Amino acid sequence: MIKIATWNINSIRVRLPLLLTWLKETQPDIVLLQETKTTDDQFPKEDIENLNYNIALNGQKTYNGVALLSKYPIEDITSGIPGFEDEQARYIEAVIKGLRVASIYVPNGSEVGSDKYAYKLRFLQALYAHTKTLLTYDEALILGGDYNIAPTDLDVYDPQEWHEKILCSTPEREGLRSLLHLGLTDSLRETHRDEKDLYTWWDYRAGAWQNNFGLRIDHLLLSPQAADLLKNTSVDKPIRSVEKASDHAPVVCELDI
């Protein structure tokens, strides 16, 4: 069995003690991190390597940043979506233990109709095109990360309040749905079909965590080869409640390998 997690850490240096404790306690085999918010040379490699993890980075000062942590060798690393010019560090892909995995930080989009929103839709189009290529490879594929999209109203604590707002607008949802229509499986929804409260993000403001005002915007999307190995997926909610927590909780899937 292999355990794969995706987690928007919301600053690796701020959250490092939390991450190290979590790695020791949960022992994931592969971790896909987003919003590391640091350059590669400032990433705290030594502390993580001391826990027997290999590391691959695509970092950026202050903003964005993605990383892969693995107990196995990391090979064939790709930083950035091929063919998509992007100054922001939002994508890293590699082969680990025969699996092709990617850590993805989809742009938030800020506000529907804004320039940042248009950038988000372009990013999704580029991700779609690259995913089509990846699915032609004869290997299991896991595209994990913070997609900044709640797929359906079931994934939103108050669908009426969020109707057509950022993270829940129709074009964003169609962008995510287009990936699923390529043949990917939403692993969390696959193992928890109609369950409510499967949230992965709670705003720091307005008592969102205390009132469970959450959204499900972090996803592990699996190719058919990977989905055939899927045993379970869960949200590690308790870590969201600790002091200095990220506003996201990890999503963890188990594959029978």
Q: What tokens appear for 68 in the block?
A: 């892969």
Helix, strand or coil, per DSSP, at residue 123 = helix
Whether 91 sits among the annotated catalytic residues: the reply is: no
Q: Which of 79, 104, 68, 89 is nearest to 184 (CA)?
A: 104
| CA nearest neighbour of 88 among 56, 119, 113 | 119
Burial of 145 (0-12, 13-18, 19+ CB in 10 A): buried
Active site residue 147: no
Catalytic residue among 29, 146, 186, 218: 146
DSSP state of 156: B
Q: Which of 29, 53, 91, 105 is catalytic?
A: 105
For residues 187 and 221, is the Cβ–Cβ distance under 8 A?
Answer: yes
Q: Name the pairing type of β-strands 99-105 and 140-146.
A: parallel
Q: How many CA atoms lie within 13 A of 75 on its CB side?
A: 8
Q: Is 191 exposed, middle or buried (0-12, 13-18, 19+ CB in 10 A)?
A: middle
Which residues are the active-site residues? 105, 146
